[in-house]
Amino acid sequence: MVAPLKTILITGATDGIGLKTAKVLAAPGHTVLMHGRNPAKLERAVQDVAALTGAGPIEPHLADLARISEVEALAEAVKARPGALDVLINNAGVYKTPDPVTQDGLDVRFVVNTIAPYLLTQRLLPAMSPSGRVVNVTSAAQAPVNLEALAGRVRLDDMAA
């Protein structure tokens, strides 16, 4: 018996693990919603994945996950689509960055790596199918958490973050 095709959102899908995951999941015909924050990189990645033999529908979703308002907008865009979301893969992450503080005064690594996936998951749970799954791709490089840095009161270098 052939498993039914799924609708899958992958954050950070413009390169690395996210792009490879999009390619693997698109090939059997799943609908893949590819997220990225750079419009040019997102367009190239979507074209690459859509060109695969057997690829299902591929949709670009542009959002900077360092901005909570854009996380909210991404969730709303996904919820506005017809049908349920079957899989959310929270893959986007920040390790090194020249500007570690967001416009809201928070550490960008904590926002993108921790707050954004939590918020996106919470917002999308009502739109997920009953058998839906959430996959979080993480790194031990994010531990331990410095609460002063999270609040933007202390700046950490890339390794300490």
Q: What CATH number has the domain bearing residue 99?
A: 3.40.50.720
Quick check: is 1 in a domain?
no
Distance CA 5, CA 86 (A): 9
Quick check: is 19 in a domain?
yes
Quick check: is 107 in a domain?
yes
Quick check: is 157 in a domain?
no
Dump pLDDT digits (tens) for 94-139: 888 888 888 888 889 889 999 999 999 999 999 999 999 999 998 7
Structure tokens given for 78: 């996904």
Give strand pairing partners of 73. Answer: none
* Residue 54 backbone dihedrals phi, psi, to 5 degrees: 85, 0
Quick check: is 16 in a domain?
yes
Quick check: is 45 in a domain?
yes
Residue ranges in the chain modelled with pLDDT below 50: none
What pLDDT, on the 0 to 100 scale, is given for residue 159?
Answer: 57
> If DSSP codes are grouped into helix, strand and coil, which group holds residue 9?
strand
- Global pTM reads 0.88
Cα-Cα end-to-end distance for the chain = 47
What pLDDT, on the 0 to 100 scale, is given for residue 98?
Answer: 85
What pLDDT, on the 0 to 100 scale, is given for residue 2?
Answer: 63
Number of structural domains in the chain = 1
Give strand pairing partners of 61. Answer: 35
Domain limits for position 71 = 7-150
What pLDDT, on the 0 to 100 scale, is given for residue 147?
Answer: 75
